[in-house]
Chains A and B, each alone.
Chain A
Amino acid sequence: MPVADLLLPFGLTLDFFTDTGFWVGVGVLAGVYVLVALGLQLNVGFTGMTNFGAAGFMAVGAYAMAILVLKAGFSFWLSLPCAMLIAIGFGLLIGLPSLRLRADYFAIATIALAEIVRIIAQNARGLTGGNQGLFCAEGGAGACYNDAWTSLSSTIEGWFENLGWSDPEALAPLLLAVWLTVVLATLGLRFIQGSPWGRVLRAIREDEDAAEALGKNTLVHKLQSLAIAAAIGAMAGFFLALDLATVHPEDYEPLVTFFAYGVLVLGGLASYWGVLVGGVIFWAVLEGTRFVELPISETQIASIRFFIVGVVLILLMAFRPQGMFGKREEMVLGE
């Protein structure tokens, strides 16, 4: 086929376009990262807070959920709101001492705090399973934290089959759940952003002193912004935990935050739908590297992935900091 001939020099195969399993996988990852990016957008794009601790929110959410289910016997569905509350609490906890720091210190502080979470996850073996992570209760024959989800997922697969999709992908229900959440989150964020509350956030972004001088309690608003990002990050953590079927410290390293920023700046720091599109493109390109058929090893393909992200970040910041869909005037990055 002529199309295949076109792709071959790039080392790609036609599978890239026809493998539904691939695209469903991309969709799930994209959805997860878009959620994280939406939280970051609220912090960075609308409140002017350079939050680099997103991976920490995800980790707290995912671990709290798994620990509540596996160690405290919570039901999966109850553990979700509880884990979200824990993540919000964590967000407030890290916000109180660090929000008064200036932007670059705040960035460093948030990365450090996220790393502390990860180190605790790696080393508090009794609680978090250490480097093995969490999946099933001790003994292997016990409950797994995603059991409740697995059964719901099968039910949804049944609906798909009824609708005519024979042999739906295993991850399809998760894809649906993630993107439903993404759309609801986007609509919700748009709504509160357009409110007077959102206006105060934007004022804080522009000039915190001016906002204070007009009677606005900037600390409270910044904490609220952080708390919402924590809640959204926790949700992203849940979905990731369901996607990978394990909760593992390595899945919450700073690289995750950096990738989320990549999604955010690709789509546009102040554009909601831009973030959604950016997420899909980002992960389609990254996961697409799996189809590269060049004579190189797996690790080398992985390094190509990082290389692409790095180059994209550099080029975007240099030549189009407002991203694909951002407006130049709303560009938050050039101060």
Chain B
Amino acid sequence: MEARPLTLGAEESPWRRLRDAADRRPAATALILIGAAVLVMIGAKGLHAVAQGGLNGLSLGAIYALGAVGLTLVYGILRLVNFAHGDFLTFGAYMAYMVNVTWSLPLVAGIAFAMLATAVLAVFFELIMWGPMRARRAGLLQLLLMSIGLALVIRSALQYIWSTDIRLLDVNTTDTVGFLGLLIGRTQLIVIAVGVVVLVAIGLMLRQTLLGKRMRALADDLELAEVAGIDTRRVIAYTWLFAGALAGLAGVLSASITSLNPNFGFDLLLPIFAAVIMGGIGDAYGALAAGMLLGVITEWSVLFIDARWKIGVGFVVLIATLIIRPQGIFGKAKVV
């Protein structure tokens, strides 16, 4: 019996080919689109405005990125939509407040303490809550509602102790630094610096260290990692430590350039989710890039719309990502 001759597929339209090419090289496509947008913006508002907005956006972006990296690893490994992550940021900020303002120690100590405390908090809940629930094969909605419950518990505890008063960390809020004709607050510059340093360190850690590689492996495919003999419980615990520490740091940084109140972390959560989804769930590098990008986009938006709408930008980007490319810019398969 002879095989049927191969028949060529239906003609593919040039539009379809373009979309397929874009699908296959998403990072390049994103870069091209962003580059084009930047050129348009410079044309409309001038180089200075765009550069200044970009600089401002970096501090917000660093905060988003720090929050997103931890969240995406947890989400990728545990398939847990952790609605309490925002409150980790809040928790970290209040820990720093305690050290920096209540005990009058330097902010550096506050940051260290915040990262440590939030890391411990994260692992604590993994041990008493998330681990046992996973063992019981809890479903998505169950875990989601539990994370919401946890968010409320953390937030209410913080509110009980510190009330809803807006508080400030003991930081320099007035000095500015100028270079290349751009201005930026001194504290904001420090936030960017700290953020970038930590993010680079994380990037290296994930790539070079054994633990980092294991984390990425788990985030990619948990079952496969288990089969390959990796001690997943240990790696999961480290991931939570990691996520907690980063969230705590993000919280302190945010508090140092704005302020603290019990809700601010949750307010940051949706933009952080946007960064996670944009970067592709489980992809720490993606979350990093997407977070920085989102911060910059948010600040650029102010060039065109009234500042009071700024908080909505993250939400709109989230929706747009979910509609156009739910697997994220760097996500692989169309697993949606």
Name A residues whose Cβ lies closer than 8 Å to a Cβ of B. 44, 50, 97-98, 100-105, 107-109, 111-113, 115-116, 119-120, 122-123, 254, 258, 261, 265, 297, 299-300, 302-307, 309-314, 316-318, 321, 332-335
Q: How far is the CA of A215 from the CA of B156 in the complex (A)?
A: 48
Residues in A neighbouring B141, C-beta threshold 8 A? 44, 50, 103, 332-333
By the criterion CB–CB under 8 Å, are B151 and A334 in contact?
no
Check: B193 CB closer than 8 A to any chain A CB: no
Segment 121-159 of B: residues with Cβ below 8 Å from A:
129, 132-133, 136-146, 148-153, 155-157, 159
Q: How far is the CA of A75 from the CA of B316 in the complex (A)?
A: 34
Output the residue of B143, B149, B155, B306 with the most chain A CB within 10 A.
Answer: B149
List 15 other contacts, CB 8 Å, given A98-B323, A265-B145: A103-B141, A108-B270, A116-B312, A123-B308, A299-B164, A307-B153, A311-B153, A314-B153, A317-B142, A317-B143, A333-B142, A333-B145, A334-B136, A335-B139, A335-B140
Nearest-CB distance from B211 to chain A (Å)?
27
Q: Take A115-B270, A116-B312, A314-B149 as given contacts and tell me if A307 and B139 are in contact as well, using a CB distance cutoff of 8 Å.
A: no
Check: B265 CB closer than 8 A to any chain A CB: no
Segment 155-188 of B: residues with Cβ below 8 Å from A:
155-157, 159-160, 163-164
Check: B44 CB closer than 8 A to any chain A CB: no
Q: How many A-B residue pairs have CB under 8 A?
A: 143
Check: B302 CB closer than 8 A to any chain A CB: no
Q: Take A50-B141, A104-B81, A109-B318 as given contacts and tell me if A97 and B146 are in contact as well, using a CB distance cutoff of 8 Å.
A: no
Check: B37 CB closer than 8 A to any chain A CB: no
Nearest-CB distance from A225 to chain B (Å)?
16
Check: B319 CB closer than 8 A to any chain A CB: yes
Output the residue of A97, A103, A109, A265 with the most chain B CB within 10 A.
Answer: A109
8 smallest CB-CB distances across A and B, nearest first, come from A313-B149, A310-B152, A335-B139, A306-B156, A310-B153, A307-B156, A314-B149, A303-B159
Contact of B315 among A112, A303, A314, A333 (CB under 8 A): A112
Q: Take A112-B270, A300-B160, A307-B157 as given contacts and tell me if A334 and B315 are in contact as well, using a CB distance cutoff of 8 Å.
A: no
By the criterion CB–CB under 8 Å, are B159 and A119 in contact?
no
Residues in A neighbouring B306, C-beta threshold 8 A? 123
* Secondary structure of the A contact surface, majority rule: helix
By the criterion CB–CB under 8 Å, are B142 and A312 in contact?
no
Q: How far is the CA of A270 from the CA of B189 in the complex (A)?
A: 53
By the criterion CB–CB under 8 Å, are B273 and A261 in contact?
no
Residues in B neighbouring A309, C-beta threshold 8 A? 149, 152
By the criterion CB–CB under 8 Å, are B139 and A334 in contact?
yes
By the criterion CB–CB under 8 Å, are B149 and A311 in contact?
yes
Nearest-CB distance from B336 to chain A (Å)?
6
Q: How far is the CA of A108 from the CA of B323 in the complex (A)?
A: 12
Nearest-CB distance from A313 to chain B (Å)?
3
By the criterion CB–CB under 8 Å, are A306 and B149 in contact?
no
Residues in A neighbouring B336, C-beta threshold 8 A? 100-102, 105
By the criterion CB–CB under 8 Å, are A307 and B81 in contact?
no
Residues in B neighbouring A120, C-beta threshold 8 A? 312
Q: How far is the CA of A253 from the CA of B308 in the complex (A)?
A: 17
Q: How far is the CA of A107 from the CA of B140 in the complex (A)?
A: 10
Residues in B neighbouring A300, C-beta threshold 8 A? 159-160, 163
Q: How far is the CA of A171 from the CA of B95 in the complex (A)?
A: 44
B149 to A, closest residue via Cβ: A313
Q: How far is the CA of A100 from the CA of B322 in the complex (A)?
A: 10
Q: How far is the CA of A103 from the CA of B145 in the complex (A)?
A: 13
Contact with A along B310-336 (1 / 0, CB 8 A): 011001101100110010000000001
Residues in B neighbouring A313, C-beta threshold 8 A? 145-146, 148-149, 152
Residues in A neighbouring B142, C-beta threshold 8 A? 317, 321, 333-334
Residues in A neighbouring B103, C-beta threshold 8 A? none
Check: B277 CB closer than 8 A to any chain A CB: yes
Contact of A109 among B133, B145, B150, B319 (CB under 8 A): B319
Nearest-CB distance from A110 to chain B (Å)?
10
By the criterion CB–CB under 8 Å, are B133 and A318 in contact?
yes
By the criterion CB–CB under 8 Å, are A108 and B145 in contact?
no
Check: B304 CB closer than 8 A to any chain A CB: no
Check: B309 CB closer than 8 A to any chain A CB: yes
Q: Take A108-B81, A314-B150 as given contacts and tell me if A119 and B311 are in contact as well, using a CB distance cutoff of 8 Å.
A: yes
Residues in A neighbouring B159, C-beta threshold 8 A? 299-300, 302-303, 306
By the criterion CB–CB under 8 Å, are A304 and B326 in contact?
no
A106 to B, closest residue via Cβ: B322
